[in-house]
Each structure stands twice: as structure tokens, then as C-alpha cells.
Amino acid sequence: MISTRGRYAIRVLLDIAEHQQDGYVPMKDVANRQGLSLKYLEQILPALTKNNIVEGIQGKGGGYRLVRLPEEYTIGEILRITERDLAPVACLAEGAEKCARKDFCQTIELWEGLYDVINNYLDSKTIADLMK
């Protein structure tokens, strides 16, 4: 299940996209508009700057802005950065130790297929798609 961390990140990006024509968007404003905890958002955003999703400027008049066009961010990309893992089962998670049953497991293909379906969907949607 997708946590608030990833969902809030998407809402933040959407909010920035819709307000950055006036310059850098301070997270305080986003938190107010979206009804979210500023302190919590401040914990999420560093992941987005480190991965070149947004640019953050400190100091008075600072804030955040997108570094690409909204249609160039897929939801999958955002969630892969902000969520711990998108894999639907533990054995497909990043950094999972190799499952001993893998070679003869009858269900692994099922889960790989599910994973594909999820990734394909999330990579087919962009921030721009959410803006209308």
C-alpha cells in the first residue's frame, strides 16, 4: 500500500507545478494549501532535491521549483524515490535476500506479472496528467 510519503510527494509536486509561475514556491504555502504538516513535508523533500526532481533554494524568497516540465515526471519515478518499495511482495523488493525457493517457486511469475502491471501503469501517468 502506498504511504502518505509518496502520496504527499505527488501532491506537493502538483502544487508546485500549479504555482511556480510566481517564482520559487515555499513549502509553508504548500502545506497550508494542501492541509499537510510542514514539518513532515520538510522530511520528504530532501529526497526529491537529491534526485533532481525539484530545485530547492534556501533563505528569504526561497522555496522549490520543478527542474523539468510536469509532463516529464512519471508517477512511477516519484514513487520509486519516495516510497520504500513498490514491489507487491517482499521477495521482489529491492535488496531482498535471494529466496531459497526461487528456482522452483510456482508463484514468482504471478508476482512478477503483478509488479509489471503496476509499474507500467504508474509509468504511464505524469504529473501533467493530474493537472486538469
Q: Which residues bind a copy of itself (CB under 8 A)?
A: 1-2, 7, 10-11, 14, 35, 75, 85, 87-90, 101, 106-107, 110-111, 113-114, 117-118, 121-122, 125, 129-131
Distance CA 8, CA 127 (A): 13
Nearer to a copy of itself, 62 or 114 (CB): 114
Binding of residue 51 to DNA (CB under 7 A): no
CB 34 → DNA: shortest distance, Å?
Answer: 11
CB 67 → a copy of itself: shortest distance, Å?
Answer: 21
Residues 6+ apart with CB under 8 A from 24: 57, 61, 62, 63, 64, 65
CB 88 → a copy of itself: shortest distance, Å?
Answer: 5
Burial 77-95 (b: 16+ CB within 10 A, else e): bbbbbbbeebbebebbeee
Sign (positive or negative) of CA dihedral 6, 127, 70, 37: negative
Binding of residue 17 to DNA (CB under 7 A): no
Nearer to DNA, 11 or 73 (CB): 11
Helix, strand, coil abundance in the chain, percent, nearest 5: 60, 10, 35
CB 55 → DNA: shortest distance, Å?
Answer: 8
Point out which residues bind DNA (CB under 7 A).
3-5, 25-28, 37, 39-40, 42-43, 45-46, 49, 56-64, 83-84, 90
